[in-house]
Structure 1
C-alpha cells in the first residue's frame, strides 16, 4: 500500500542516519540550596506523593492531591508556602485487606488522588485510586470538606496509582482518558456528570478504537468546542513491526450525544491521527511523554494554537535522547478533514479507502445522521495522514538530558517581540529554562529541584504570579520563572538572553522586563553586548582603555604575597558554563613547563623570580571578552625581590574593541588589558567552568611546608621543572652516603662467605700426618714434582670451596687479608 508516512519510516529504518546534535549546555547551573536561586519548599512528615496539582484562578491557592489526603496550600506569600486546610481521605482497614487479598502490594493500596478539577466556583471534583477501587467525591474549595458521600469512580480514575490518566472538566462535565477495569485491559475515553438531555458517553469496547494506550494529557479548545486527547498506543497499521508504538491525538465534540440506533451512548465524533515527531533522515521519536498547549498570541486566530510535546524513541539508535516537537492546531484540523483508513475485519489489515466518503469522520453534529453514515464513521476513525511538526523538524533534541515533563509560556521582551520559553523537567531532578530562537534552543539556566529519583512528577505554571510548581513524592517546590537579580552587570544580563530580564541603565541593575519599561538593554536573539550595553558607563574601562594605558605600567590587581618555592593557585571562576577562560601576563608567555591550567579555570605554578608579577584572567563568551580577575604575585620574604613593576606592555597593536567590566569583589583597578594581535593557542588552554558559578574571588595559596602541596601536585609534573632552588649539593651528599652503605654491606657479606669457606677447608687434627704416612715413595716424589712445576709456571695452587675459587692461603682472590 502506498503510504507516505510508512514509506518515510521504511527509509529511516534502512538508513539509520543519526542527526548532528548540538550540545545542550545550560548557561548557569544552580544546585539545590544555592543562594543564587531562591526556591520555596513545602513538605511534611505525614504528606507524600504530592503529584496532582490544581491552581486557583488568582494563583493564590494551590490544591494538591496527595496520598490519602487533599491539601490547600496558601502560595500568596513570597517566602513561604502555608498549609491552610487538609482533608484526610484514606481507605478503611477492610478496604486495605481486600486490596492485599487481590495480590497487590500494601504500598500501592492507599488512596492516591489522581483527578482534581474545579467543578464550579465553590466545589472541586476529586477522584482517587482508593485501594484499587476508585472513588470520587465533591469537595468544598473553601472549607475543604466533602459535600457528598464518595461514589464509584470506575472509568473516571485509574485503579493503579502508577498508571497515567488525564481528566478535564468543561461546563460541569468530566472528560477522562483512563482504564475501566481492574486489570487495565479496557481503555476508555468517556464523559461523565452529564445532566438533562445530555447523556454520558464512552467508546465502543468492541471496535478496537484504542490499542493499549498510555494517556498523557487533554486540552479544550473553546472556539472549536472540541476536546483533544494525547496518548501513545500500539500502531496496528504498521503490521510489519511487532508492537510499534505511535503517538496519537484524538478528538471528540462536546455537542456529541451519541446515535439514535447505531452508536447509542457511544461517541459519533471520535477520530484519531498520528503525531509524527521526526526530522529528515532520522528515526521517529515515537513515544510521547508529556504535552502542553500554548494559546495563540493576542489577536491571532485559534488555529495558531501550538502544542509542545516531549518525545522519546523505542529505537536503540535514539536511546537516551529526548526531543521536543511542536504541532499547530491548523495542521491537526487539516489531517482530520482528510482521508481515513479502513480496517478489513476479515484480514485485520488497514488500507486507504479509495471510494467516495459517505461522511467526514470527526465532524460535529453526526448524532442525527443516518445509520449508514454512522456505520461509516464507526469503521473509519484513523486518519490516513500524520500530523507533522511545525517546520517539519524537531524543536529540541538532547542526548545529555532525559526530559519527562514540560510547560510552556509566551513572554514579551523589551523590544515588544514574543518569545517562547520552555520549562523542562529532567529525570535527574533539574528544571531547565530554555528560550526558542532562530538559531535553536538556548538553555538559560538549570535549577535542581530534587535529588532522589521520583516515580511520579507534575508541573504547574502560574503565569500571573510568575511561578512554577513542581510536585513530587517528597513535596512541592516553587520556582520563580525569572531570576534577574543574579546578573550583576549589563554584559551578564544581556548574555543570559532571558526574555524575562533586561538591564536598566538608570538603576544600573538587571530587572524583570515589563510593558512599562521600554528602555531596557536586551538582545535575546544574538546576545550582542557591544550594541546592547553601549549606553552603559564602564567606570574601569575609561581608566584602563587600550589607547590610554601607559606602556610601562599595569593595574595593581589583588596582591598575593608568597615565598619562593611555594605553590600558588590563582582562582578564576567562569562567568558561565558557556564561557572560556584564559590567563595572560605582560611580556611573558605562560609556558606549560611552568604553569598548570586546572579544570576549574584556576592557574597553578611554583613561585620563583621568573613567575612573580601580574596575572590577568579573561573570560570570553559569545564574542565578548571581560576581565574576571587580576593578581599581583609578590615575594613576601625578601623586600629586594624582583617585582613586576618594571614590566612593560607588549609593543603590539591593541584591539580597541576588547572591553572588560569589573565584578563585585575584585580590586577596583580591574579593567581591560591590551590584547596581542597575534595569539598563540599553545600558550594557554581555556577550560570550561564547573556547574557552579561562584561570585567570590578568593585566592587560595598552598604553603610549601604543608603536606597538602604534594597531594595537590600529583598530577602536576610540569611544575617540577620550574626554575627555582638548586638541589645539586643535596643530591651529591645522598649519592655518596648511598655508595658507602653499599660498600660496607658488600664487605660484610664477603667476610661471612670467607669464614664459611675457611671452616670447611681447614684440616682436622691428625689427618695430615696419617695421610702422609700412607703415601708411597712414588707419591711423595710425584707430589713434590707437581709443586715444583706449579711454581715454575708462576701459578699458585688452589682449592674449590662451594664452587668458589680460593687461593693457597684459603682466602678469596683479590681479597685483602
Structure 2
C-alpha cells in the first residue's frame, strides 16, 4: 500500500511540473446555422430529452427514447428528418403524486427512456424511470405499439434516477445491464435478464463487494470471445489514500455463464475486472472514464486487434477542464485478465497480491461446471493485479481546453488503400470535433456547433453506410454529415484540410469523397504537402513583396484604397483557416512596428502618410505553404491613378477603413467576403460564384461575423449582435486617442499621488508626540536623543500650527491619528 501511495504522489508531483500541452485548434469552425456546414435537425414542441438513440438495421429509421415517449424518425432522406410514429408512454397522475411524496422534484418524475435495444428484427425492448419506479415493455418496431398493456418490473434493468448513468446491451435476445437495483442507488449490479433455453438470469453477489459505488459508462460484445465487456468508474479500494481515489475499470463476463451448481448459484462465475490506466509518462493519470466506443479490426485482421477508444478526465483540480483520449487493444486486455489476481482480506478489507498457488483463471469461460473449491477461488480473486495500459503506452490525444463527453470512431480507407481513424468528439460547450489520428498526433479537421445550451445527458450514433453522425440532446436530434468535401473550393484547401474523407479530383476540378472512388486524387493526410498533391490542380500564386523582391513597376494593381493623409487605414486580411499565420509585406521596405499595428484578426492598421502610401500584400502560411490572401494599393485621394487593364475593372473606394475578402464558393467560415481583385494566379479556373444571398459565418478568434455577398453593388459587414459595419466608415483616430488617454491617466495619477502625500504629511504632523507626553520611543532613547527631541519640539509645534491652519483652509481635517489593524500607529514597532 505504501508503494502505491508513494508512486501516485510522485506522479502527481511530476504532473504539476510537466510541460504545457499544445492547444488543439480546429482548422475550421462552423457556428450554428453556418451555410458552409448544413445540418438537419428534428425538434418538436411536445418532445424533449431525446437522448437515447437506436438505429435500425437498414439505417433508414432512427428510434429515439425521450421523455414520456418513444419516437420513430425517418432519416432516409438527406434533406430533412421527419417523424414516422410516436408512442406515448407516461406515468399516471397517481404515479406522479407518489413520486412527489417520495421527495422528488416533479420535473424528475416523468418517464425518461434509459434502455432501448433490439431483441430481434421485430421487437424493441424499452425501459424507463417511470416516476422513480422503473418499468420495461416490448415494442413492435414496425407499428411502434406495445405488445402488452401492463409493463414489466424494471428493477435491475433501468435506473430509478433519470440522471443515473447506466448501460444495456442485448445478445441473442438476452438483456445484459449495468445499473443500480434499489431506489437509493446503493446496490450496483451487472445482471442478465430475459434468459432463454438453458440460461438463467444472473447477477453479482451482493455480499462480495465486487463493485464499489460504480458509474456505468458502456458495454460491448465481442463475438469471438463470447464475452461482454463493461466499462465503468468506481472507488479504488486497493489504494490506501486519505480521499477516495476514482479508478476506471473494465469488467468481463461470459455469455455462456449459467452460474454455479452449489457455490455462486444464479451468480456470475466468470466475473473479473481490471483497471484501465490512461496515463503517459511523468503526467497525472486521467482516472475518470466518460465514454467508450468499440472500433472493429481492419478487414482481414484478427479480432485481437479490436480497439476501444475512451474519453478520460481527472479528479484532480490541476487537470480540471482537460480531457484525454486513450485506446486499448483487446489483446492487451486478454493478457491482463489471464495474469495474476489480487486477493481481498475480509478482516482488514485490504487488497494484496496473491501469493498462494493459482487454482483457476478468473474470468475464464466454462467455470460453471468447476468444483466448489475452484469457484470459491474465483469468488475471492476477481481483481486483476496488473492494469490495462493504452496502446503505445501513451495518450492518443489530449485537449487542455476542451471537456469531451462522448465520442464515436470510424476507420476510413482512402484511395491509396491506407487506413485512418477518425474520431467525432462531443464537447460540453456544444461543438462536435472531427479529428484524424496521425503518427505525429491528432489533427482536428473542423468543429461544428450542434447545440447552444449545456447538456447533461447526450448521445452519439454513427451511421457508416449513411455517412452521418446523429447527436441526441434535450433540444432534439441533429444529423451531421461525416464529410464536407464540397466546402473546399480549390486543391490547396482540399489538401490542407487533411481530411481522409476528401481528395482533389484534377479531372472534375473539385474536392470529392475519397472513400467512394478509385481515381488518383490529390490527397496527403499525413503531412498535407500541397506541392506534391496539387501538381495537376490549380495553385495560387505566391507572389512576395518583401524588400528587393519585386520592382515597384511590376507591382500588381491590387485593390485600390483611396485615403486622405493623417487618416487611420485598416486593411483586412482573410484567413484560409484558423491554423494559418498571416504576414503583411511591402515592396522594397519593411513594416516598422512604430508605424504599423497588426491586430489579432489579421488586419493591418497605420496612419496614412506619404511614406505609408503604396502597395501591401497579405500572405497566409499554413503547414509550410504560403498563399496570397489580399493585395492593396493605398493612394491619396485626388492623385492620378494609372489606368491599366487590371485596375479598370475594379471598383474604386474612398474610405479609410476597408474590409476585403475573397467571395468563393465554399469559403471557410474563418474567411470574410471581399470584392474581386486582380491577383496573379497560375492554372486556376474561375469557380462558380455563390448566389447573391449566400451567407457565410465566421467564428475566428471568438468573434462571429456575418458577411453578405455582393448584392446591388453594396457590400456590408454585419456583426452577430446586429450591428452593421459598412465599408463607408469614416476616419478613425484610434492611435491619437490612445496617446491622449495615456497622458491624461498619467497626469491624474501624479496629481492624486501628490494630494495623498500632502494629506499624509499633515496627518502625521498632528499625530507627532508632544514634549509633555512621553512615548515608547522617547522612553527607549538616550538622554542625548531626548534632549534633541525636546529641542526640536518647538519647531514641530510651529509647523503643526501652520499645517492645521492650512488644512482647515483647504477643508482637510485630521480628527484622529491613523492606526493599523493592531491598534498601534502605522509603521511603528510594538
Cα shift at 1:22? 1.4
Q: 8 Å contact 2:716–2:727 — kept in the other structure?
A: no
Instruction: Name the SS of the counterpart of 2:96 in structure 1.
Output: helix
Whole-Å separation in 1 of the counterparts to 2:272 and 2:329: 17
Whole-Å separation in 2 of the counterparts to 1:544 and 1:343: 74
Instruction: Name the SS of the counterpart of 1:394 in structure 2.
Output: coil
> 1:128 matched to which residue of 2?
128
> 2:137 matched to which residue of 1?
137
> 1:627 matched to which residue of 2?
628
1:160 aligns with 2:161: yes
> 1:360 matched to which residue of 2?
361
The equivalent position to 1:670 in structure 2, one of 653, 662, 679, is: 679
Q: 8 Å contact 2:546–2:585 — kept in the other structure?
A: no
Q: 8 Å contact 1:597–1:603 — kept in the other structure?
A: yes
Whole-Å separation in 2 of the counterparts to 1:587 and 1:547: 5
> 1:74 matched to which residue of 2?
74
Cα shift at 1:70? 0.4
1:496-575 alignment to 2 at 5 Å? 496-538=497-539, 552-575=553-576
Cα shift at 1:633? 2.4
Cα shift at 1:315? 1.4
Whole-Å separation in 2 of the counterparts to 1:707 and 1:546: 32
> 2:296 matched to which residue of 1?
295
1:436 aligns with 2:445: no
1:271-290 alignment to 2 at 5 Å? 271-290=272-291
Instruction: Name the SS of the counterpart of 2:469 in structure 1.
Output: strand
Q: Write the deviation string for residues 718-746 of structure 1: whole angstroms up to 9, x where unpaired.
A: 999xxxxxxxxxxxxxxxxxxxxxxxxxx
Cα shift at 1:360? 0.7
> 2:42 matched to which residue of 1?
42
The equivalent position to 1:709 in structure 2, one of 725, 732, 750, is: 732
Q: 1:364 to 1:706 in 2, by over 3 A?
A: closer
Whole-Å separation in 2 of the counterparts to 1:601 and 1:369: 72
Q: 1:100 to 1:54 in 2, by over 3 A?
A: same
Whole-Å separation in 1 of the counterparts to 2:307 and 2:641: 72
Q: Write the deviation string for residues 128-181 of structure 1: whole angstroms up to 9, x where unpaired.
A: 000000000011111111012311100000000000000000100000000000
| Range moving further from structure 2, 580-589 or 41-50 | 580-589
> 1:726 matched to which residue of 2?
none
> 1:487 matched to which residue of 2?
488
Cα shift at 1:10? 4.3
> 2:407 matched to which residue of 1?
406
Cα shift at 1:382? 0.5
Whole-Å separation in 1 of the counterparts to 2:567 and 2:642: 15
Q: 8 Å contact 1:499–1:513 — kept in the other structure?
A: yes
Cα shift at 1:542? 11
Q: 8 Å contact 1:576–1:689 — kept in the other structure?
A: no
> 1:11 matched to which residue of 2?
10
| Range moving further from structure 2, 584-593 or 634-643 | 634-643
Cα shift at 1:354? 1.4
Q: 8 Å contact 2:542–2:627 — kept in the other structure?
A: no
Instruction: Name the SS of the counterpart of 1:29 in structure 2.
Output: strand
1:446 aligns with 2:447: yes
Q: Write the deviation string for residues 65-111 of structure 1: whole angstroms up to 9, x where unpaired.
A: 00000001111111211011100000000000000000000000000
Cα shift at 1:642? 13
1:24 aligns with 2:24: yes
Whole-Å separation in 1 of the counterparts to 2:740 and 2:98: 72
Instruction: Name the SS of the counterpart of 1:442 in structure 2.
Output: strand
1:777-792 alignment to 2 at 5 Å? none
Q: 1:201 to 1:382 in 2, by over 3 A?
A: same
Instruction: Name the SS of the counterpart of 1:375 in structure 2.
Output: helix
Q: 1:627 to 1:136 in 2, by over 3 A?
A: same
Q: 1:380 to 1:640 in 2, by over 3 A?
A: closer
Flag the structure with larger Rg: 1
Q: 8 Å contact 2:716–2:725 — kept in the other structure?
A: no
> 2:387 matched to which residue of 1?
386
> 2:328 matched to which residue of 1?
327
Cα shift at 1:595? 2.6
1:217-296 alignment to 2 at 5 Å? 217-296=218-297
1:645-684 alignment to 2 at 5 Å? 667=676, 669-671=678-680
Whole-Å separation in 1 of the counterparts to 2:594 and 2:59: 61
Cα shift at 1:518? 3.2
Whole-Å separation in 1 of the counterparts to 2:445 and 2:101: 51
Q: 1:282 to 1:114 in 2, by over 3 A?
A: same
> 2:33 matched to which residue of 1?
33
Q: 8 Å contact 2:412–2:515 — kept in the other structure?
A: no
Cα shift at 1:470? 0.8
> 1:603 matched to which residue of 2?
604
